[in-house]
Structure 1
Amino acid sequence: MVAALTRRFGDLGIAEEAAAEAFATAVERWPVDGVPPNPGGWLTTTASRKAIDRIRRENKRDDKHKEAQMVYDNVPPEPIGAIDDDRLRLIFICCHPALAMQTRVALTLRMVGGLTVPEIARAYLVAETAMERRITRAKAKIKAARIPYRMPSAEDLPARVSGVLAVLFLVFNEGYLATGPGTDPLRHDLTTEAIRLTRLIRTLMPGDGEVAGLLALMLLIEARRPARVSAGGELVPLTEQDRGAWDATLIAEGHRLVRERLAAGVAPGRYQILAAINAVHTSARDIRDTDWSQVLALYDQLVRLDPSPIIALNRAIAVAEIDGPDVALATVDRLAEALTGYHAYHATRAELLRRLHRGPEARAAYDKAIELAGNTAETAYLTRRRDQLR
């Protein structure tokens, strides 16, 4: 787009400033108005208008001003570059390397992914006000640093793909278990779109192991969707799901991708390890057949790559199956400060305390998990578990 504007207005500086202003306008308007049918054309037209306004303000270059007015309503669409899909292209554009990783992901989730600020804040386990400030700072930086709107080329993709994968994973997670109290527990529209876009990236970057890993992870989780909520609207945990209801086709594809990555002989990344963990779970015909030692070994590998408290919490579930709930509880309790506002932390503690026959403490943990859980299906499940305590 910058090149096209430069050709029309004859000034690289005006073109770059106009493109940056158009991108900043999109950041403000698209989350409210929705992404336009032709985003590239919208941004190009908006940038043209910004350029015309700037020329008018400067009150010079009359000839170029007239030329700009002549082409004002007849701006051809920007070449689409390496990516045909409008939404995927916009995600790559928004995941600009000039922004910090968490900032670019949060901004893209708000602008293109369709998630609300509360949903994004819950995904990052931060306060809504903190997330709002983070997004506001990102918008200001785009404007101040004149970060240009530019169609990504094939050479741009590797530098941006990690942010794009993070966006798609968080969109998928919101669909897998919606966090808002006023939404459906499972949002099939979000999981389907995340899978679709990840498949497109896989086509663009077939040799990227983390792209394949994320696709496999999504497929193996999505395969369990038919068994995740009961007819009464209650969440069904993995231990109680009807495995005959799982989608065998999605599982087979996910397993194939995991095997391909193992055969590649390359050290796996975060998404590949998470996919392998889910492959172990979906390989077991019954919960009692789960190879928990393999799950724990994979989590040990994952912790070295991503020593986050949420990974440590998930690892503790495998520890409970091998070393017992008392050992797992000691691990979980060390995460209290980091995860005190995370409902799954309290739900995990409640289940471990339940297994240790510490009823009053388990009830208090269930109460806290119910207070923090926004999903109606999960709240129903936790309430039933709490009320079953003697």
Structure 2
Amino acid sequence: MGELLLRELTPAVLGVLVHRGVDFATAEDAVQEALLQAALSWPEHRPDDPKGWLVTVAWRKFLDAHRSASSRRDREERVEFERTPGPTEDTDDSLQVFFLCAHPSLSPASAVALTLRAVGGLTTRQIADAYLVPEATMAQRISRAKRTVVDVRFDTPGDLGTVLRVLYLVFNEGYTGDVDLVAEAIRLTRQLAAMTDDEETAGLLALMLLHAARRAARTTPDGVLVPLPEQDRSRWDTALIAEGVAILQAALARDRLGEFQAQAAIAALHADAPRAEETDWVQIVSWYDELLRITGSPVVELNRAVAVGEADGPRAGLAALAQVDPGLPRHTAASAYLHEQAGDLRAAARLYADAALSATNLAERHHLTRQAARIGQALGA
């Protein structure tokens, strides 16, 4: 609980330092040092005011880093003035920290790294381990990101949609090492939802919870990918499903539909089916129509074609798929599945094999290779 509290307080503490006039990069370094000191001292001496403690220590770290013999007296006089409690001490600028870390000038990878560090409170080593890159590489990425936003005014309104997309990127990375990025993305999205009255933030949180509910059933103990229709639904987390559905229903009731709400509605329909055969594919196609209207995304169009194949038959699905760019990732895999459902096993085996060659991750490649081998054996028999 101590580590979790530290990470939850991180953006608020960072916001205090920035409001006191510390540039973002320096403030973030000072907060990280305060977090490390807290991790060492809190287990034995937990402060009554954790946020105040972190602000005080981070402020001292900043002062220590910038104190020099030639200007020490002037700086200390200025510091005594700046340390006088003011309105910024009671202002929670966590949302502005979210905005800054997801600034449009940053690349998606840099925004994710900076968000995990400055908002999530993770160390550079933890983030590097999660993304399977050397710590030095991640340190450079974070430093470049901080330099990019160093001149951005802290009171400039941010784009909530950009923040949501960054959090969605974190969620989709999965997890490695000692940092569970799925859980971290959900934690940060909960924190963001508590700061805003926004349907799309609620929709994203619902989407994450509904996907996370199926997590235990998605792979076998040895890491083999299990497709949704074949998953053991008794292993789905019903509490997460119930929470996700409740959050989604409250968001949809406000009648301001957005992309993440529509995605969550599709996930909820999958979660609602006791068996794969009972999935309401007609409703899912309707939600894909809404999602396609909102986004115009070719990926949505691809997923809709597969859903049409389930609702209206594989030939209808193939007809819908024919309207989608064949160069799209997973287009070949979708075509293989629909050909198999249509009974064209030779085409399906060839397409599964082709799809395996272009798979973006090892688990997906192994799954598609096994599908090709399975059909090949059936044809041989």
Determine if the TM-score, normalized by the shorter chain, exceeds 0.5: yes
Query: Is the contact made by 1:110 and 1:117 (CA closer than 8 Å) also made in structure 2?
Result: no
1:206-221 alignment to 2 at 5 Å?
207-221=197-211
Q: Do 2:204 and 2:264's aligned partners in 1 also have CA atoms closer than 8 Å?
A: yes
Q: Distance in 1 between matches of 2:316 and 2:28?
A: 51
The verdict on how the C-alpha distance between 1:116 and 1:188 changes in structure 2, with shifts beyond 3 A counting, is closer
Q: Structure 2: any 5+ residue segments left out of the alignment? A: 1-13, 39-53, 117-125, 133-138, 377-381
**Counterpart Cα distance in 1 of 2:206 and 2:216:** 18
Structure 1 residue 348, shift from structure 2 partner: 2.5
**Mapped pair 1:381 → 2:372:** no
Counterpart for residue 95 of structure 1:
99
Q: Paired residue for 2:189? A: 198
Q: CA deviation at 1:303?
A: 1.2
SS at match of 1:388: helix
Render the CA deviation track for 1:243-271: whole Å, top value 9, x for unaligned. Answer: 1221111112222222222333x221111
What is the distance in 2 between the residues matched to 1:285 and 1:6? Answer: 52
Q: Which of 310, 326, 347 is residue 336 of structure 1 equivalent to?
A: 326
Deviations 1:6-56 (A, max 9, x none): 98xxxxxxx5xx615526978xx98xx997567866875676567657xx9
Quick one: which amino acid aligns to residue 174 of structure 1? E
- Pair 1:251 & 2:241 matched: yes
Q: What is the CA–CA distance in structure 1 between the aligned matches of 2:15 and 2:183, rounded to whole Å? A: 34
Change (3 A) 1:80 1:195: farther
Match of 1:222 in 2: 212
- In 1, are the aligned partners of 2:102 and 2:112 still within 8 Å (CA)? no
Structure 1 residues 139, 292: CA separation in 2 closer, same or farther (over 3 Å shift)? same
**How far did 1:200 drift?**
2.5
- Asked whether the 8 Å contact 2:206–2:244 carries over to 1, the reply is yes
RMSD value over aligned CA atoms? 4.5
Shift of 1:191: 1.7
1:147 aligns with: 152
Q: Is the 8 A contact 1:45 1:75 kept in 2?
A: no
In 1, Cα distance between the equivalents of 2:111 and 2:222?
35
Q: Percent identity?
A: 32
Alpha-carbon spacing, 1:360–1:118, altered in 2? closer, same or farther (3 Å) = farther
Residue of structure 1 aligned with 2:112, choices 109, 112, 115? 109
Match of 1:286 in 2: 275
| Counterpart code for 1:361 | R
**Aligned equivalents of 2:130 and 2:281: distance in 1?**
35
The residue type paired with residue 217 of structure 2 is A
Cα-to-partner distance string for 1:346-382 (whole Å, 9 max, x where unaligned) = 4323323433331453143233244x324x4x34322
Higher relative contact order (CA 8 A, sep 6+): 1
Say if 1:2 and 1:252 are closer, same or farther in 2 by CA, change over 3 A.
Answer: closer
Provide closer, same or farther for how the CA distance between residues 359 and 330 of structure 1 changes in structure 2, counting only shifts above 3 A.
Answer: same
TM-score (norm 2): 0.68
8 Å Cα contact 1:95/1:104 also seen in 2: no
Q: CA deviation at 1:311?
A: 1.9
Tell whether the 8 Å contact from 1:5 to 1:48 is kept in structure 2 after alignment. no
1:5 and 1:165 map into 2 onto residues whose CA distance is: 23
TM-score by length of 1: 0.67
Q: Which residue of 2 aligns with 1:125?
A: none
Provide Cα deviations, 1:175-231, integer angstroms capped at 9, x if missing partner: 2xx6xxxx48xx9822222222222233333x3211221121111111111211123
Q: CA, structure 1 residues 359+249, in 2 after alignment: closer, same or farther (shift >3 Å)?
A: closer
Q: How does 1:279-358 map to 2 (within 5 A)?
A: 279-329=268-318, 331-332=320-321, 334-337=324-327, 339=328, 342=329, 344-355=330-341, 356-357=344-345, 358=347
Q: 1:98 to 1:147 in 2, by over 3 A?
A: farther
Counterpart-to-counterpart distance in 2, 1:44 and 1:253:
39
Alignment match, 2:356: 367
Is contact 1:22-1:43 (8 Å) kept? no
3-state SS of 2:149 partner:
helix
Q: Distance in 1 between matches of 2:258 and 2:19?
A: 41
| Whole-angstrom CA distance in 1 between matches of 2:34 and 2:285 | 43
Q: Flag the 1:270–1:80 CA change in 2: closer, same or farther, 3 A.
A: farther
Match of 1:126 in 2: none
1:67-106 alpha-carbon deviations (Å, 9 max, x no partner) = 469999x9999847326xxxxx4x85153299327x3653
CA distance in 2, matches of 1:316, 1:117: 37
Report the Cα distance in structure 1 between the residues aligned to 2:179 and 2:29, rounded to whole angstroms: 30
- Rounded Cα–Cα distance in structure 2 between residues aligned with 1:383 and 1:34: 50
